[in-house]
Structure 1
Amino acid sequence: MTKILILTKGVQASSSRERALVYSDLLRSNKVLYQHLGLSKRPLNYIKAIIKAPSFDIIFLQRKLVPRFFFKILRILSKKIIYDFDDAIFLDSNGEISNHKLKKFSYICSNSDLIFAGNDFLKNHANKFNKNTFLIPTCLDISKYKLSVRKDKNFFDLVWIGSKSTSKYLIEIIPLLERANKKLKDLRLINISNVVLKSKFIPIKNILWSEQVQYKELKSAKLGLAPLDDSNWSKGKCAFKVLQYASAGIPIISSNVGVNSILIKQFDAGLLVKQENDWIKHIQKLRSNPNLYKIYKKNAERMSNLFDLRVNYKKMKKIVKDAM
Structure 2
Amino acid sequence: MDALFITAGDRTQASSRLRVYELLPHLEEAGISTESIAVPQFKSGLDGLWMRSTFASNILWKVLRNDIVFVQKIRFPTWFTQILSKISSTLIYDFDDAIHLAPPGKDVGQDDIRQHNTLIEKSDLTIAGSRELVEYARQYTDEVKCLHTGIPRKKYEQHQNISDLDEDSILLGWVGNPENLHYLSDVEREISEVLERHDNLSLRIITAGTLPIRPFKDREGEDVEYVEWTLDSALADLAEVDIGLRPLRDDEWTRSKGGFTSIVECLALGVPVVATPVSLVKYLIRNRDNGFLAGSPNEWGIILSNIAENPSEIYQMSQEAIKTVSSWRFWTEDTAKGLINIINEEIKKE
User: Residue 123 of structure 1 is aligned with which of 124, 134, 140?
Assistant: 134
Summarize deviations over 1:259-292 as a string: whole Å, max 9, x none: 2223214995211121111111111223333554
Give the CA deviation at 1:293. 2.5
Give the CA deviation at 1:60. 0.6
Structure 2 residue aligned with 1:320: 343
| Larger RCO, structure (CA 8 Å, separation 6 or more) | 2
Matched, 1:200 2:198: no
**One-letter amino acid matched to 2:25:** D
Structure 2 residue aligned with 1:296: 317
**One-letter amino acid matched to 1:132:** E
Summarize deviations over 1:198-241 as a string: whole Å, max 9, x none: 33385122211112211111111110111112221111223111
**One-letter amino acid matched to 1:220:** E
Give the CA deviation at 1:78. 0.6
Structure 1 residue aligned with 2:47: none
Structure 1 residue aligned with 2:114: 103
**Could you tell which deviates more after superposition, 12-21 or 194-203?**
194-203
Give the CA deviation at 1:106. 2.2
Structure 2 residue aligned with 1:45: 55
Alpha-carbon distance between aligned partners in 1 of 2:318 and 2:5, rounded to the nearest angstrom: 36
Summarize deviations over 1:151-185 as a string: whole Å, max 9, x none: 88452001111122111212332222111122221
Alpha-carbon distance between aligned partners in 2 of 1:274 and 1:105, rounded to the nearest angstrom: 33
Alpha-carbon distance between aligned partners in 2 of 1:253 and 1:267, rounded to the nearest angstrom: 10
When normalised by structure 2's length, the TM-score is 0.85
Q: Are the aligned partners of 1:39 and 1:46 in contact in 2 as well (CA < 8 Å)?
A: no
Summarize deviations over 1:26-66 as a string: whole Å, max 9, x none: 23333322121122424232221111101101011001111
SS in 2 for 1:160: strand
When normalised by structure 1's length, the TM-score is 0.91
Corresponding pairs, count? 323
**One-letter amino acid matched to 1:4:** A
Alpha-carbon distance between aligned partners in 1 of 2:283 and 2:39, rounded to the nearest angstrom: 33
Matched, 1:164 2:178: yes
Unaligned segments of structure 2, at least 5 residues: 43-51
Alpha-carbon distance between aligned partners in 2 of 1:19 and 1:287, rounded to the nearest angstrom: 36
**One-letter amino acid matched to 1:33:** S
Give the CA deviation at 1:249. 0.5
Alpha-carbon distance between aligned partners in 2 of 1:228 and 1:133, rounded to the nearest angstrom: 27
Q: Are the aligned partners of 2:90 and 2:346 in contact in 1 as well (CA < 8 Å)?
A: no
Matched, 1:260 2:271: no
Summarize deviations over 1:124-173 as a string: whole Å, max 9, x none: 11122222211100110022112355988452001111122111212332
SS in 2 for 1:277: helix
**Could you tell which deviates more after superposition, 29-38 or 61-70?**
29-38
Alpha-carbon distance between aligned partners in 2 of 1:267 and 1:303, rounded to the nearest angstrom: 13
Structure 1 residue aligned with 2:31: 31
Summarize deviations over 1:88-142 as a string: whole Å, max 9, x none: 0111235998643332222111111111111111111112222221110011002
1:1-324 matched pairs, under 5 angstroms: 2-11=1-10, 12-42=12-42, 43=52, 44-94=54-104, 99-147=110-158, 149=161, 153=166, 154-194=168-208, 195=211, 198-200=217-219, 203-238=223-258, 239-265=260-286, 268-290=289-311, 292-305=313-326, 306-324=329-347
SS in 2 for 1:61: strand
Structure 1 residue aligned with 2:46: none
Q: Pairwise CA RMSD of aligned residues?
A: 2.4
Alpha-carbon distance between aligned partners in 2 of 1:245 and 1:204, rounded to the nearest angstrom: 19
**Could you tell which deviates more after superposition, 97-106 or 295-304?**
97-106
Alpha-carbon distance between aligned partners in 2 of 1:312 and 1:105, rounded to the nearest angstrom: 23
Summarize deviations over 1:56-91 as a string: whole Å, max 9, x none: 010110011111111111111110011110100111
Alpha-carbon distance between aligned partners in 2 of 1:19 and 1:110, rounded to the nearest angstrom: 21
Alpha-carbon distance between aligned partners in 1 of 2:288 and 2:95, rounded to the nearest angstrom: 25
Give the CA deviation at 1:295. 4.3
**One-letter amino acid matched to 2:275:** S
Q: Are the aligned partners of 2:200 and 2:308 in contact in 1 as well (CA < 8 Å)?
A: no
